[in-house]
């Protein structure tokens, strides 16, 4: 055990915690015997306080690959396995994750506990949809072999359940076959929000789609954006020079932010300049090219410690989903207008159209528009968030738990209509609330 200051990826809040690095089930059982309450933590890539608590169980050393069936593509591994390791091993063999978040520095257990989504949510749903079964260690030390047939409620409470039903030890899930490590990317330059939303609908057949939005543009330019569509490239379609490198991977992080930068470096001027350059770097209205899978899915992973650009006070990511019906586009416009007026938005504004809602009780994704933006932790940010919250609640939307560090209990309950079902399972499996987190306490999930 060691004591350390830890935080989520956003850097706030930051707390002193006792960290237990675990390698196996027996080590967890020992820690459970000695401590009343515990918080599981993978790579700490959730942004807020969901992996924070006074006593933390660190999973990344519990990282063995257990079995892989090369016919069916079913993989079994321990929950602490890092996504980057899966990519290193399986992409050269022609397999990829069915759903991947925008960073490869996450654990498989963390992906399941947050029920992460990717750029293919409209086609493939969230990660839990591809998980066949998992092993859970509960607060009293019992092991549960969980699948949808045997114990559906425990499955639906643990997927997206933010580590509150117990420790996920291992998972079995489906991988997908790929023919190269390249993505055929098409970028559409969109002049404004309506054009972008129409394009999301008309390009629904693409496997991957996501838009970068210039969140400081306003007036007739409000919502100007780049829509990035993608398909896994087949070997035969690759140009000759890429055929030689059909399954190559360059996992090096080429740049590094060495220290926390002074807060204030990111200001309206620098973000406006970045946004304009980024938008105008695409000259034509439509642009197609082959790009490495790593840069398509994980553009920010190229820069080690990029979160340090926000300085010591850190930042928040605000990610909401707004139902498409009845008036999702109108509500989205209101959100973008508030953000543009506040002049505090960042250069990382991502918009995506989700497909149908996923089954797990606390899963985030549901049919509608999801907008994700980073904001520095500074005066004025909370006031803006409250305005955004109002729009999200009015529209029947919600915030993403794995990005959240400040949502109120009432907003959580208004957005997560199945939280009651989650709490019933939690009461049964962990009546003393031994699996906990700062977030769970704030949102009344362990009341
Ligand atoms: C740059 C960046 C891009 C991202 N892009 C996306 C995206 O596109 N889509 C998306 O959905 N998310 C995205 N995320 C969020 C990220 O995928 C999730 O927060 C993920 O859960 C992080 O995994 P982790 O291993 O770091 O988990 P942690 O952050 O350590 O923990 C997250 C939650 O999982 C629980 N947990 C972790 N391991 C276990 C376990 N073994 N058993 C029980 N509970 C456990 C923790 O208690 C906590 O509640 C992004 C994050 C970053 C930093």
pLDDT single digits (tens) 395-442: 999 999 999 999 999 999 999 999 999 999 999 999 999 999 999 999
pLDDT at 256 over 90: no
Write the CATH number for 271: 3.40.462
Q: Looking up tokens 């996501």, which residue turns up?
A: 210
Q: Ligand 1, residue 364: give the atom nearest the CA.
A: 11
Looking at the fold, whether 118 and 151 belong to one and the same domain comes out as yes
Q: What pLDDT shows up at residue 252?
A: 76
Pairing of strands 74-78, 65-69: antiparallel
Q: Give the C-alpha separation, 77 to 87, whole Å.
A: 13
**Distance from the Cα of residue 77 to its chain's centroid:** 20
Residue finishing a domain among 147, 178, 209: 178
Looking at the fold, whether 156 and 248 belong to one and the same domain comes out as no
**Distance from the Cα of residue 20 to its chain's centroid:** 24
Looking at the fold, whether 53 and 72 belong to one and the same domain comes out as no
| Upper half-sphere CA count for residue 3 (Cβ side, 13 Å) | 3
Protein residue with its CA nearest to atom 13 in ligand 1: 101
Task: Indicate whether residue 60 lines ligand 1 (CB < 6 A).
Answer: no
| Ligand 1 centroid – CA 235 distance (Å) | 32
- Retrieve residue 125's tokens: 């749903």
* CB-CB contact of 344 with 383 (8 Å): no
- pLDDT band per the 50, 70, 90 thresholds, residue 262: low
- The answer as to whether 413 is a domain residue is no
User: What is the count of structural domains for the chain?
Assistant: 3
pLDDT at 140 over 90: yes
Cβ neighbours around 292 below 10 Å, total: 17
Looking at the fold, whether 168 and 194 belong to one and the same domain comes out as no
Q: Ligand 1, residue 161: give the atom nearest the CA.
A: 49
What are the pLDDT digits (tens) for 332-348?
A: 999 999 999 988 767 67
Looking at the fold, whether 259 and 223 belong to one and the same domain comes out as yes
The preferred substitution site among 19, 25, 116 for testing ligand 1, maximizing ligand atoms within 8 Å of CB, is 116
Q: What pLDDT shows up at residue 333?
A: 96
ipTM of the complex: 0.99
Looking at the fold, whether 222 and 155 belong to one and the same domain comes out as no
- The answer as to whether 420 is a domain residue is no
Taking Cα atoms as reference points, which of 66, 36, 78 lies closest to residue 54? 36
* CB-CB contact of 193 with 333 (8 Å): yes
Looking at the fold, whether 290 and 402 belong to one and the same domain comes out as yes
pLDDT at 103 over 90: yes
| Upper half-sphere CA count for residue 28 (Cβ side, 13 Å) | 27
The preferred substitution site among 84, 110, 167 for testing ligand 1, maximizing ligand atoms within 8 Å of CB, is 110
- pLDDT band per the 50, 70, 90 thresholds, residue 287: confident
Looking at the fold, whether 163 and 262 belong to one and the same domain comes out as no
Region of poorest pLDDT, from 11-15, 265-269, 393-397: 265-269
Q: What pLDDT shows up at residue 196?
A: 97
- The answer as to whether 22 is a domain residue is yes
- The answer as to whether 205 is a domain residue is yes
Q: Ligand 1, residue 127: give the atom nearest the CA.
A: 11
- The answer as to whether 218 is a domain residue is yes
**Distance from the Cα of residue 271 to its chain's centroid:** 23
Q: Give the C-alpha separation, 14 to 376, whole Å.
A: 15
The preferred substitution site among 11, 24, 42, 138 for testing ligand 1, maximizing ligand atoms within 8 Å of CB, is 42
SS3 of 243, please? helix
Average pLDDT for the chain: 93
Looking at the fold, whether 224 and 367 belong to one and the same domain comes out as yes
Q: What pLDDT shows up at residue 253?
A: 65
pLDDT at 279 over 90: no
Looking at the fold, whether 347 and 250 belong to one and the same domain comes out as yes
Q: What pLDDT shows up at residue 26?
A: 92
Domain that holds residue 107: 65-178
Taking Cα atoms as reference points, which of 380, 383, 375, 263 lies closest to residue 315? 375
């Amino acid at each position: 055990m060691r004591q350390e200051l830890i935080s989520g990826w956003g850097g706030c809040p930051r707390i002193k915690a006792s960290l237990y690095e675990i390698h196996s089930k027996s080590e967890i059982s020992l820690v459970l015997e000695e401590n009343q309450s515990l918080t599981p933590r993978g790579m700490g890539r959730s942004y807020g306080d969901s992996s924070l608590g006074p006593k933390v169980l660190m999973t990344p050393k519990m990282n063995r690959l257990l079995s892989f069936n090369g016919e069916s593509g079913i993989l079994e591994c321990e929950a602490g396995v890092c996504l980057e390791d899966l990519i290193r091993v399986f992409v050269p063999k022609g397999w990829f994750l069915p759903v991947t978040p925008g960073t490869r520095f996450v654990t498989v257990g963390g992906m399941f506990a947050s029920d992460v989504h990717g750029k293919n949510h409209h086609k493939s749903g969230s990660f839990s949809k591809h998980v066949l079964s998992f092993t859970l260690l509960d607060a009293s030390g019992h092991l549960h072999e969980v699948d949808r047939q045997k114990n559906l409620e425990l499955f639906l409470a643990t997927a997206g359940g933010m580590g509150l039903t117990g420790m996920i030890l291992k998972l079995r899930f489906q991988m997908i076959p790929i023919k190269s490590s390249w993505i055929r990317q098409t970028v559409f330059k969109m002049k404004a929000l309506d054009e972008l939303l129409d394009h999301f609908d008309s390009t629904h057949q693409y496997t991957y789609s996501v838009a970068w939005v210039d969140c400081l543009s306003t007036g007739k330019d409000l919502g100007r954006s780049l829509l990035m569509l993608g398909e896994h490239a087949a070997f035969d379609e690759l140009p000759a020079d890429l055929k030689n490198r059909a399954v190559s991977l360059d996992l090096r992080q080429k740049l590094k932010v060495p220290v926390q930068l002074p807060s204030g470096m990111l200001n309206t001027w620098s973000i406006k300049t970045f946004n304009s350059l980024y938008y105008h770097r695409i000259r034509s209205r439509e642009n197609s090219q082959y790009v490495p899978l790593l840069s398509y899915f994980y553009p920010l992973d190229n820069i080690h410690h990029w979160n340090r650009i926000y300085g010591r006070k850190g930042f928040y990511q605000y990610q909401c989903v707004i139902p498409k019906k009845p008036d999702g586009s109108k509500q989205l416009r209101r959100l973008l207008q508030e953000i543009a007026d506040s002049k505090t938005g960042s250069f990382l504004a991502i918009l995506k159209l989700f497909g149908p809602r996923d089954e797990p009780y606390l899963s985030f994704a549901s049919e509608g528009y999801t907008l994700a933006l980073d904001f520095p932790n500074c005066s004025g940010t909370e006031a803006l968030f409250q305005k955004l919250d109002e729009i999200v609640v009015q529209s029947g939307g919600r915030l993403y738990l794995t990005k959240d560090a400040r949502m109120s209990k009432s907003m959580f309950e208004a957005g997560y209509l199945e939280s009651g079902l989650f709490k019933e399972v939690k009461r049964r499996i962990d009546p003393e609330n031994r699996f906990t987190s700062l977030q769970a306490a704030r949102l009344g999930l362990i009341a």
